[in-house]
Amino acid sequence: MRRSRAGTRPDVDERFMERALALAARGLGRTSPNPPVGAVFVRDGQIVGEGFHRQAGGPHAEIVALRQAGARAHGADLYVTLEPCAHHGRTPPCAAALAPLGLRRVVVAMRDPNPRVRGRGLRMLRAAGARVSVGQGAGAAEKLVAGHRSVVERGRPWTVLKLGTSLDGRIGTASGRSRWITGPRARRRGQELRGMADAILVGARTVRADDPHLTCRIPGRRQPVRVVVAGVHPGLPDRAHVLRDGLAPTWVVVPRGASRAATAKLRRQGVEVIEIGEDARRVAFGPLARTLAARGITRLLIEGGGQVAAAALRARIVDEVAIFLAPMLIGADGVAAIGPLALRSLARAVHVDDLRVERVGPDLLVCAHVRHAR
């Protein structure tokens, strides 16, 4: 079997990095504002310790794996999905804890884009005598830390727009009825998307019309923050689930011209009211995204309705779409999944790349990356 110049077999590196990536994925939706990371210690071809970052403020993946490996980590190989941190945050730097172990090799999927790290962790490990290689599993690692990278490099969360529509792009009938357009399996996949998000965003109209819980029903998952975008009259029904169920935090976002009496009532009902001051009449989605990032939100899931979807697309903050298509037609008098975009030409349309389609029960799931017009 072919060996690399470092004396290791490429398929072995791939196998152990795949394990580290699988561990890292278990942290999605749990670690904000930190990225999800997985780590595996290997000695004599066997895993002797492994772990993932479970929550911000808790031990990082490398430390969890090190505690499991104990003395067996000395002289071992380490596979980690993101460059070990080299700065003091809520926990001590991982690279400093790893340096005395006499590690033989450290295989890293990708460098950390955080300027406080960005190569410093790799240099510390090389200085300690470890052979460090970067790039194994980089594609999968970059998807896992897309939220972290987006906040670091763009100052806003990685944002997914999720829609459940008829084949002709409607999310409700003319009377507003929308339950249920998609089937049970599609709704379960929607729960998985919620489980990977730090926050779920909807418009106040959706809360008034559908009274959603906006929670993740997957056992063991951290509940995402519920973000409700409202207008100058931001009142919500007193018995709305997002106000009274206590299952997750609720933030109501309003423009600076919002009714003071209504916002005071919302605060008395236990929600946090966030004012976005760019426009007195409506919430501007660019500043909203930056505000959410400053509050620790790295992965945002937008679930509607149509006006909210259009506002997010016009603000160019949507990175991916996940559209569930049900085998039905509702007609032009139904509620559009995406509101007006005011396009003057097809060249200004929102195009998508990397299109993936799969069957989810009777429905189709279409996922793609968004490519906004320049």
DSSP string for residues in 81-101: SSPPP-S-SSS--HHHHHGGG
pLDDT-derived band at 8, boundaries 50, 70, 90: low
Name the average pLDDT for the chain: 92
Model confidence pLDDT, tens digit, residues 122-141: 999 999 999 999 999 999 99
Indicate the pairing of strand 320-326 with strand 158-166: parallel
Catalytic residue at 62? yes
Whether residue 4 is predicted with pLDDT greater than 70 in this model: the reply is no
Which phi and psi angles does 39 have, rounded to 5°?
-145, 145
- Among candidate residues 62, 83, 303, 320, the one labeled active-site is 62
Do 55 and 222 form a contact (C-beta atoms < 8 A)?
yes
38 phi, psi to nearest 5 deg: -125, 150
pLDDT tens, position by position, 153-202: 999 999 999 999 999 999 988 877 777 899 999 999 999 999 999 999 99
- Other Cβ atoms closer than 10 A to 294: 12
- Looking at the predicted structure, is the pLDDT value of residue 325 above 50? yes
